[in-house]
Structure 1
Amino acid sequence: MKKISLYHTEIENKDGISGHVRSLTDDAFNQLTSSPLKSVPGTNPEQLLGAALATCLNATLEAEEKRRNLPHQAIVRVAVDMGRDYQGFQFWLRVQVKLPQVDQQEAQEILAICEQRCPVAKLLAKSQNVKIELVNEFGFKEEFK
């Protein structure tokens, strides 16, 4: 299948964890970065990854809601944890999705479709460190503390 790009961006980080990450293709994205383990201003990979997944999945849910003539009421929350493993560090992502305007069965159908369509969810789909679940109420259990 031929790849056809509908959008292109280039992101650069030349400072590592303490500095800036920016777009080379426009001036709209320029973020201060810092370690999540230090109390200094800046975003970090954990926040960026969580934001990417939450935004992309919710946009996909919004499109499916629209296709079904439903109001957009989907909410996506992503918890990102970082911890050590035998070679360094790894992330664990727990995603909670709330679709309050439909019953449980339709909500499951919508979520299943959207997990197959969302580019970020597809990118992360094979990872055992990513769990996506439908919820009626939000609440992440503290699994890692």
Structure 2
Amino acid sequence: MTKDDALFHTEVVNEYALDGEAYVKDGLRVLISDPLSQDPGSNPEELFGLAWSTCLNATIQALLKARGVNTRSRVEVVVDYKRESDGRGYYFDLTASAAIEGYDEDQTKKLFTNAHRRCPVSKIIGSYPHVFLNVMPFHS
């Protein structure tokens, strides 16, 4: 099902939960494994981290470009898979850290906060209580 107003459309399939391949129809195939196993493959935590770090950094770059600034940025995401305190479920602690070349801590924090509000993956996260944003120095 596509929407006429979609700028991009993709369809992704997972038939094997954490023990097999997930794939983009007519595209990328990824071996999936349980994050608590030693089996080869990726897992939802890694894939989410890739999606969010890419979206955040792309949004930072778009904001910089709109200001006429051509500089590098870096985003690192940590996804910690944790057990609920009642022992009945799981949740993610999500920490994103950003650095922008030539920007001080306050400038980076302001732009990063703006990027987080605009990033489509961040919008999916919404007001989730286990999200943390940090600023880090830029290193090549």
Asked if these proteins are the same fold (TM beyond 0.5), I'd say yes
Equivalent positions of 1:53-132 (< 5 A) are 53-85=52-84, 86=86, 87-132=88-133
Displacement, 1:38? 1.1
Q: Which residue of 2 aligns with 1:44?
A: 43
Task: In structure 2, give the amino acid aligned to 1:107.
Answer: T
Q: Which secondary structure state, in structure 1, belongs to the residue aligned with residue 18 of structure 2?
A: coil
Displacement, 1:103? 2.6
Aligned counterparts of 1:136 and 1:69: Cα–Cα separation in 2: 22
TM-score by length of structure 1 reads 0.84
Q: Which secondary structure state, in structure 2, belongs to the residue aligned with residue 115 of structure 1?
A: helix
RMSD: 1.8
Can you give the 5+ residue segments of structure 2 that lack an aligned partner in the other structure?
none
Aligned counterparts of 1:66 and 1:137: Cα–Cα separation in 2: 18
Task: In structure 2, give the amino acid aligned to 1:128.
Answer: P
User: Does the aligned pair in 1 maintain the 2:101–2:138 contact within 8 Å?
Assistant: no
User: Does the aligned pair in 1 maintain the 2:81–2:91 contact within 8 Å?
Assistant: yes
Can you give the 5+ residue segments of structure 1 that lack an aligned partner in the other structure?
139-145
Q: Which residue of 2 aligns with 1:4?
A: 5
User: Does the aligned pair in 1 maintain the 2:71–2:101 contact within 8 Å?
Assistant: no
TM-score by length of structure 2 reads 0.87
Question: Across the two proteins, how many residue pairs are aligned to each other?
Answer: 134
Q: Deviations over 1:63-110 (max 9, x none)?
A: 111112222311000111111113321111111111131233322221
User: Does the aligned pair in 1 maintain the 2:95–2:133 contact within 8 Å?
Assistant: yes
- Identity %, equivalent residues: 32
Aligned counterparts of 2:82 and 2:105: Cα–Cα separation in 1: 33
